[in-house]
A and B are shown apart, each in its own frame.
Chain A
Amino acid sequence: MKLAITVWNGRIAPLFDVAHHVLVVETEGFGTPVIQLTTIEMHAELPWQKVETLTTMGIQAVICGAISCEYEEAVLQAGMELDAFVAGDVDDILAAWQSGTMRQQGYSMPGCPCPLHRRMRRGMGVRHGYGRHRLDR
């Protein structure tokens, strides 16, 4: 599957809505190696336009920082899996993804009460932050 991570200065971009760069990686799934493919530029666009850019690249999952409801809805409507309100160095997050150790590490944005925010939509749905609620993976 293709995974998109919004990046800024080597970290997860703080806000998906205005994120300009997306790192695209290929992976078999959580706990498996990732192959970095490319970094694409994504200029500030309307929600559906931004999502269209991702879907035309075959993206199936997105890891990002904060995201507003409008953009979240657009990503989920497009059938993508969304992990939002994630913070941290991109390299650390990729390493944690590969080793399957995300659950031991807190990559949530501050103040994010993840289990309460968890919502299931369109299959996998959206999860806020990374650490605590990845236990089921």
Chain B
Amino acid sequence: MDIVTTETILESINDGVFTIDNDWLITSFNRAAEQITGISRTDAIGLRCSEVFKSNMCEGRCPLAETFSTGKTVINQSGYIVNLAGKRVPVSVSTALLKDSQGKVIGGAETFRDLSELEQLRKLRARERFGTIVSNSESMRKILSMVPAVAQSTSTVLVLGESGTGKEVLARAIHGCSTQKHGPFIAVNCGALPDTLLESELFGYRKGAFTGADRDKPGRFALARGGTLFLDEIGDISQAMQVKLLRVLQERQFEPLGGRETEKTDARIICATNRNLEELVAQGAFRQDLYYRIHIIAMTIPPLRERREDIPLLADQFLQRFSVLNNKNLDRFSAEAYGRFYAYGWPGNIRELENAVERAVVLCQGDEITLDDLPAEISRSHTDALQAEGQSPKQADGTGVRTDVHSAKEEVERQCIVDALMRHGMRVSEAAVELGMHRATLYRKIQALSIGLE
């Protein structure tokens, strides 16, 4: 192929391409490279590639340097460049050596692809799933399908679920879809504050209300006007506070401490707790009238162990986020790490998974997250975890310890199928629809996993 033809091809493609000589100086720079970097070829040619490309890969893990030292091409190494506006542009990079007719290395070529559009698509997709909530599980899908309708009403919502399941995330999603989404989202952890402090925090105070009150301070009810007030750990407040809260919820009015005038609030109230409120009511620890006042629309978020199909989705999401935050280029977990994720009981739910992934990203020295990067409680034999949650681990080899990915996958598959069958009264056809597989496939799996249909 002659030089003119090569140049024509390079000019017509959408991937950026530049070549360098053995001194790292740019010798050619195509049209797409100009567009992606924002630098004209007249400016770029003759300069050091690192000062034109300005990538997070240049200093530590330059793909061209690797190609020069190993003689092998690098394919689709991902990273980012920083453009002149200071914006990070995600790119994937491939490299190759340039040789003359005698086979002598005369430089290198780097092609790079702008991944911004893909990144935007990914973000748009996530937004359709209500902000940061992502889920593949049927139980979560039911909850998420309620969000638009719930968001449009002004009724008080009660979000229930174990600690770390994402109650505040759901509350934010409801706020984000509501007509008051442009108003503030104010969150208060009621369990973290003593009564007197909680009262001044919620209702605010007037100057001179108590020693040290040298100016008026608006409370959270006032701050949340036109928006949403999220009252977390509502099950932990005292009886006295419950009475005061009941009045505000009923009449939408309150008096700041030391104030004479009644103030109104139009804030949407979302309450959340990890306690069993019905039990607390039965014990007399939670007022029945307040319970019925907040129990208008209840949404229960299932714990992570009951929706294991969400684990890879959530783990990948956290991996992407923490990789960017920590300037690392990690995009996958090893099969063994995934196996442990599936098998672990996750008593701390999504928050625990998030923390585990963050820890792994910080500690990881390689290209993928391995068992060594996981916390000890997750990376050790997962049989303990299954036993802790009351499941009986079935061993293929009868040794009492299952550590292979295959058996972990089988266990999760079995659990998903049993759950789906239970939900549909053991009707295979309906369970197959929910699981997204053909009826015959589900029958085959039921047989292979020895699941009883009685």
Contact = CB atoms under 8 A, between A and B. Distances in A.
Contacts of A8: 50, 59
B54 interface: yes
Contacts of A52: none
Nearest to B43: A110
Contacts of A67: 82, 86
Contact of B86 (A18, A46, A68, A110): A68
B327 A44 contact: yes
Contacts of B59: 8, 13-15, 18-20
Given A15-B82, A111-B37, A68 B55 contact: no
A15 B86 contact: no
Interface string A6-27: 0010010111011110000000
Interface string B44-88: 100110111111101110000000000000000000001011111
B326 A68 contact: no
A28 B110 CA distance: 43
B327 A18 contact: yes
Main secondary structure of the interface of A (DSSP, over half): loop
B325 interface: yes
B133 interface: no
B40 A18 contact: no
Contacts of B55: 14-15
B280 interface: no
B366 interface: no
A40 interface: no
Nearest to A85: B84
A4 interface: no
A135 interface: no
A46 B47 CA distance: 30
A44 B37 contact: no
B86 A109 contact: no
Contacts of A118: none
A66 interface: yes
B326 to A, nearest CB: 7
A111 B326 contact: no
Report the 8 A-B pairs with minimum CB-CB distance, sorted nearest first.
A111-B39, A66-B54, A110-B43, A69-B86, A14-B50, A44-B327, A66-B82, A87-B51
Interface of B: 37-40, 43-44, 47-48, 50-56, 58-60, 82, 84-88, 325-328
